[in-house]
Amino acid sequence: MPRQSYFGPPDIDPGEAAVRDFADHGFNHLNLPILKKPESELPTPPDFRLLTAAEKKQYLSLMHRKLEKAAKYINEEHVMGLDYDRPGLYKEAIPVALAQGPVKLDMNVQAHIRLLMDQDLHLKHVFENNGYMQDAEVTVAMQDYIRTWNEVRHLLVWQTPGETEAVKTHNVQKMMKDVFGDIVDE
């Protein structure tokens, strides 16, 4: 009676069958088509040259209100104890509405705002625990907060009207201080 083997036909040695079974056969035999990389364009900043001073002021006001709504929504998420990585977050109505134009607070900006607000709470907690004394833990928390503050500011500057980069940065800095508080004094 021929030997029955799990690894192959009955006439193959089990050791040889194991080597054949674990051989790398690759995917070439499947003849899969090579997918082309999808073409994507980076977002371009809006053209503010055609706007009047009143329209620029109205745009900045809209940006301020949208930033306030994002902060309020993220604060409510925190109060309710919702997970920031929950499934379907990026399909919910408010995050999708915040990501739509003309002022676009996309999911990356929203994630940075969440991080900024969490670091704000952490920094206040560290200050209270250390009796408002300056030590290494406070310094690290402050550096993390300032780094995230600058990242959020940088993400907002490109879609802000202004004649120069300094004017745009000043406008965003003023908005952020109004919405998130005046912790950072540069």
CA-to-CA distance for 139 and 145, rounded, in angstroms? Answer: 10
Q: What is the pLDDT of residues 23-75, one digit of tens each?
A: 556 666 677 777 777 666 766 777 888 888 899 999 999 999 999 999 999 99
Kindly report, residue by residue over 85-137, the tens digit of the pLDDT.
888 888 889 999 998 888 889 899 999 999 999 999 998 898 888 877 778 88
What's the CA gap between 174 and 182, in Å, rounded? 9
Q: Does the predicted TM-score (pTM) go above 0.85?
A: no
C-alpha torsion angle, residues 98, 99, 103, 105 (rounded to 10): 80
